[in-house]
């Protein structure tokens, strides 16, 4: 069938930031495909909480290119269109930057396969549908990056490098896919998710104090930036949009 509503696919859609992005896009009229890795329960439970209709949960493990091709086929068969792709799937683990041995090859490979190759593979799989979009302003890919790409301060050395690579990928793909598809990185600072709230309180308070606006980002603020890129910033591509409270100023 042909979807009347524009369609957005969100990888990592059941995570804290991904779920906020799904809610925000549904609220402005998108049918949302909530991409999950292995277990569908959280993604499926989100569907009735989203505004509007036409939403679906679909398996989207970004490290499996074959599965992403199957996702693209499923999206085409159900909706016959894809107007927005949000690459929100990501992975990391805290390893002190000086602990070179603690950053083992398996973790390095997992981070790069998910955060960099996975984002590219999702774009590659959905590119034919994105190029065919009739959405005003063209189709949009939003890569959820991180301030760590700029500061090289983050959960581990390779996570920072992966987000820097993702921002470079954003620029390259914006050039390669223009003019039919715009590509933008949304780059949060530290986001106040349940995971962050579970960490050492003193460390979290220190990060907050170092942020000029005096607090951490909320997931909904990252989602609002995604909506702005999709709906309002229609002459914007190949750039990194910071949502970090001015953290690099300190």
Q: What superfamily would CATH give domain 7-244? A: NAD(P)-binding Rossmann-like Domain (3.40.50.720)
List, for residues 79-130, the tens digit of each pLDDT value.
999 999 999 999 999 999 999 999 999 999 999 999 999 999 999 999 999 9
State whether residue 51 is helix, strand or coil.
Answer: coil
List, for residues 168-224, the tens digit of each pLDDT value.
999 999 999 999 999 999 999 989 887 787 777 888 888 889 999 999 999 999 999
Quick check: 94 and 160 in contact, CB under 8 A? no
Spatial CB neighbours of 226, under 8 Å, sequence gap ≥ 6:
21, 24, 25, 86, 142, 144, 186
Q: Residue 206: what are its φ and ψ, rounded to 5°? A: -65, -40
Compute CA distances 84 → 47, 132, 198, whole Å.
18, 11, 32
Whether 36 is catalytic: no
List, for residues 36-82, the tens digit of each pLDDT value.
999 899 999 999 999 999 999 999 999 999 999 999 999 999 999 99
Catalytic site residue from 159, 187, 219, 226: 159
Quick check: 9 and 75 in contact, CB under 8 A? yes
Quick check: 207 and 153 in contact, CB under 8 A? no
* Sequence ranges of the domains in the chain: 7-244
Taking Cα atoms as reference points, which of 86, 100, 96, 110 lies closest to residue 11? 86
């Amino acid at each position: 069938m042909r979807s009347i509503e524009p369609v957005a696919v969100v990888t990592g859609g059941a995570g804290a930031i991904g779920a906020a992005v799904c809610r925000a896009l549904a609220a402005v009229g998108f049918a949302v495909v909530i991409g999950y890795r292995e277990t569908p329960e959280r993604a499926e439970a989100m569907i009735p909480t989203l505004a509007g209709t036409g939403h679906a949960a679909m398996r989207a493990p970004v490290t499996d290119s074959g599965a992403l091709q199957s996702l693209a086929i499923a999206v085409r068969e159900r909706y016959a269109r894809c107007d927005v792709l949000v690459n929100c799937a990501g992975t990391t683990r805290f390893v002190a930057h000086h602990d070179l041995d603690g950053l083992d090859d398996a973790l390095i490979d997992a981070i790069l396969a998910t955060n960099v190759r996975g984002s590219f593979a999702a774009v590659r799989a959905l590119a034919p549908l994105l190029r065919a979009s009739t959405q005003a302003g063209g189709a949009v890919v939003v890569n959820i990056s991180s301030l760590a790409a700029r500061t090289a301060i983050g959960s581990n050395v390779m996570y920072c490098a992966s987000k820097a690579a993702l921002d470079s990928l954003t620029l390259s793909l914006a050039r390669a896919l223009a003019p039919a598809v715009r590509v933008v990185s949304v780059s949060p600072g530290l986001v106040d998710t349940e995971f962050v709230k579970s960490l050492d309180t003193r460390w979290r308070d220190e990060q907050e104090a170092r942020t000029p606006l005096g607090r951490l980002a909320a997931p909904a603020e990252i989602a609002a930036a995604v909506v702005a890129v999709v709906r309002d910033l229609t002459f914007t591509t190949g750039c990194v949009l910071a949502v970090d409270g001015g953290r690099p100023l300190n």
